[in-house]
Structure 1
Amino acid sequence: MNNVFIGSPVRNRAWVLERHLHSLQQQAIQKQFKYILNDSEDQTEIILQNHHIPYETHNMGKAYGHLRGQYSYAHLAKLRNRLLEEFLKSDCEYLFSVDTDIIIPPHSLQQLIYNDKDICAMLIRNHPQIKAHNALIHGRHVPEFSKGLIPVECTGAVYLIKRQVIEAGVRYANHASGEDAAFCEHAKVLGFNLFVDTRLRPVHVYAEGVELVAQLAAS
């Protein structure tokens, strides 16, 4: 049985959380949820409760905001590592690390499982004005993509991780480029391979009213 443990830190995401959770709950696989609520002041907690999503609260203090550019990567690393602890207590084979502003396509989690990679992400566009995606090679964003699986050195936001990666000790940490970058660097050092599946292109709700979908190169 391909059980997937799904989780993320979350705060002040009531404006997009219903859509995010619905896209996950519609995936036709065995799954478990665990979210980490932190310093949230809107209706996020009520939405988690209404969807019967298990969560725990770890408030880190409000010195850092929840808007883009205000995150504390050190705080996020601690919260994500807390999720890894919960994952290892489960009997799930995979961890799906997904940001709460991502709306994934139908059947996309099953496709990531079929790909059978150590770490495999869906492709998202990170920014509305520049060609920045969650796929980096040699420290640079890949500007254009063909259709299929591509090896990368760093990814983030929406990726499936095999249990053996976490059991090997790969963890999140503070990093100038974000806690996902630290996780990917650690995974590469320990010999794990990372891929992005460009066939799977979720909606990235960058802000209220701003929705991004990655585009493939013209054939």
Structure 2
Amino acid sequence: MKKRVLVASPVKQKEAILKEFLESLGNLHQENLLVDFVFIDDQNDHHLLEAFRLANPAVRIIKAESNNPYLRDEKTHHWREELIWRVADFKNKFIAMAYEEGYDYLFLVDSDLYLHPQTLVHLVSLQKDIVSEVFWTRWDPGFIPLPQVWLTDQYQLFHAPRGQKFSEQEVRRRTLEFLEMLSRPGTYKVGGLGACTLISRKSLALGVSFSELYNLHLWGEDRHFCIRAVALGLELYADTHFPPFHIYRESELAALKEHKGKVLMTGATTPGPQAPLNQEEEERGSRITLAMLVRNEAGRYLAKVLQQAREYINQAVILDDASEDHTVALCKDLLQGIPLIIKSNEASCFNNEISLRKQLWQMTIDTNPDWILILDADEIFEDHAPETLKELARTKEVCWYAFRLFDMWTENHFREDGYWYAHKTYRPFMVRYIPGFAYQWKQTPLHCGRFPVNIGDAPGKNHPLGVKHLGWMRPEDRLRKYYRYKELDPQGRYGIQEQYDSILDPCPRLVPWEAREK
């Protein structure tokens, strides 16, 4: 007996991309299947869906009642909360339709995929309740291709028992192990999936849904669907035998031609990365954006820091915390010729660091950056840094770089003793921005960190490049910082009281810069 399958897709798509998607639907094999199609036309400005319906009587089109802009460019897709839950409502309509009309399977598929002809027949043959065909996407032009399936949480790509912490090297090893597994043809149990998913009638009857779980803050309707499905006793699977081609950007249409040729010649495709980056994409993916907080820095180290920074950055985003000197004018002067976004707060938030850090972060990600390098106005890299940083930015395998910070007590000496050993720890300074990643902050008014605390969930790397922290070199600087910490943290809730007191040590242990371990 033939299985009835409803192929469903919400469509808000560019004409050139949708044309390819519909072509692949028309080429789907349907042996032992009865296949119907349904689309929600979300105010498209072309008539491709109508043309597809005229050529196929098994097609239904539902018109969306209102328009909601969906912005896409050659870097990424710009999702907003209201748009996510609008799409979730569309998918829930498909679920209700498939269940009420007695379909054996619902196949939910995004309209920017080019499907292999064997996709639908193969997925049904697996007899899984919920299974997605895996495709690979450069979510950022400079990033390595990654799958749309994952193992746990927001987008964790490695196995880890609850509560267990791994070293950076072990996280990277486990992540690569998972990605290598998905590069081999097979069917694998996963924790999250979406975009190209076959759902059984059993799952529909149990109550799967894309509706928001009110006590869950994970981003995206697919995560809420997956968590609800597992809670209902269902299992999630990823299949890698017939990976679709993801037309995430219009520029990838050229590479699709090569993909089609492989399908025609071999009847199958190789899982994994699609086409290599062209030169323009590679340059775009390696751009460095400097992000910096400033306040009354004109007479200190800002000029020296920015003079070096302009040798390796492509743009700068600066948040001025109500400076009372000519800091802003100095920034504009020193960064002439480099794209600069600078904003001044009317009132200082100096006593609430987290608000400033989050404000700077939002200003920066609003520019759609590739790499974000955050420096304070008194931090400068060692002399050979410009070429090193530009080379690191061209790397595609990692999402962050961590360096060592040396607290300089003189021009040529850094401090090292029981309370001053920051240089023995690597800390992130340069992070690749991943659109859609659920960044989380340490919510403290002091010592909150310059980056979100969960950037380590993505693969990264320690690098021996050193950063000089110049802000301790002058006695007046140290005295000002001492009184600031005593005022903002009198009980030592966010730092160590003994370290605060040691700032004024008249004879600290100093180590020559040239004697540092490299």
The aligned counterpart of 2:37 is 33
Cα offset, 1:192, TM superposition: 0.4
- Cα distance 1:50–1:13, how it changes in 2: closer, same or farther (>3 A)? farther
- Structure 2 gaps of 5+ residues are 158-177, 257-269, 274-518
Cα offset, 1:103, TM superposition: 1.1
* 1:45-84 equivalences in 2 (<5 Å): 45-52=49-56, 53-62=59-68, 64-67=69-72, 68-71=77-80, 72-84=83-95
Give the SS at the match of 2:96: helix
The aligned counterpart of 1:155 is 193
- Cα distance 1:207–1:186, how it changes in 2: closer, same or farther (>3 A)? same
1:179 to 210, 221, 227: 221
- Kept in 1, the 8 Å contact 2:145–2:272? The answer is no
- Kept in 2, the 8 Å contact 1:151–1:194? The answer is yes
The aligned counterpart of 2:179 is 143
- Kept in 2, the 8 Å contact 1:18–1:47? The answer is no
Give the SS at the match of 1:137: coil
> How many Å separate the matches in 2 of 1:12 and 1:131?
22
Cα offset, 1:124, TM superposition: 0.5
Does residue 1:215 correspond to 2:216, yes or no? no
Give the SS at the match of 1:135: coil
CA displacement, residues 153-194 of structure 1 (integer Å, 9 cap, x when unaligned):
100110111011011111002464321221111101101011
1:118 to 120, 126, 129: 129
Indicate the larger mover: 70-79 or 42-51. 42-51
Cα offset, 1:66, TM superposition: 4.5
Give the SS at the match of 2:3: coil
Give the SS at the match of 2:150: strand
- Kept in 2, the 8 Å contact 1:173–1:182? The answer is yes
Runs of 4+ in 1 over 6 A off after TM superposition: none
Amino acid aligned to 2:65? N
Cα offset, 1:43, TM superposition: 3.5
CA displacement, residues 77-124 of structure 1 (integer Å, 9 cap, x when unaligned):
011111112112323200001001111112221111111111111111
Larger radius of gyration: 2
- Higher relative CO (Cα under 8 Å, sequence separation at least 6) belongs to 1
The aligned counterpart of 1:196 is 238
Identity of aligned residues (%): 25
Cα offset, 1:36, TM superposition: 0.7
CA displacement, residues 134-154 of structure 1 (integer Å, 9 cap, x when unaligned):
110023134332320110010
- Kept in 2, the 8 Å contact 1:96–1:161? The answer is yes
- Cα distance 1:13–1:48, how it changes in 2: closer, same or farther (>3 A)? farther
2:101 to 66, 90, 105: 90
Cα offset, 1:6, TM superposition: 0.3
Indicate the larger mover: 109-118 or 119-128. 119-128
Higher helix content, 1 or 2: 2
> So what's the TM-score if we normalise by structure 2?
0.39
Cα offset, 1:39, TM superposition: 2.5
> How many Å separate the matches in 2 of 1:176 and 1:75?
16
Does residue 1:102 correspond to 2:113, yes or no? yes
The aligned counterpart of 2:9 is 8
> How many Å separate the matches in 2 of 1:182 and 1:44?
31
Indicate the larger mover: 99-108 or 143-152. 143-152
> How many Å separate the matches in 2 of 1:104 and 1:65?
23
Q: Please provide the CA RMSD for this pair.
A: 2.2
The aligned counterpart of 2:203 is 165
Give the SS at the match of 1:185: helix
> How many Å separate the matches in 1 of 2:151 and 2:244?
21
- Cα distance 1:96–1:103, how it changes in 2: closer, same or farther (>3 A)? same
> How many Å separate the matches in 2 of 1:34 and 1:66?
24
> How many Å separate the matches in 1 of 2:79 and 2:234?
31
- Cα distance 1:114–1:84, how it changes in 2: closer, same or farther (>3 A)? same
Cα offset, 1:14, TM superposition: 1.9
> So what's the TM-score if we normalise by structure 1?
0.88
> How many Å separate the matches in 1 of 2:239 and 2:225?
19
- Cα distance 1:65–1:176, how it changes in 2: closer, same or farther (>3 A)? farther
- Structure 1 gaps of 5+ residues are none
**How many equivalent pairs are there?**
215
- Kept in 1, the 8 Å contact 2:28–2:117? The answer is yes
- Kept in 2, the 8 Å contact 1:23–1:105? The answer is yes
Cα offset, 1:44, TM superposition: 4.2
CA displacement, residues 20-43 of structure 1 (integer Å, 9 cap, x when unaligned):
122222223220111111132233
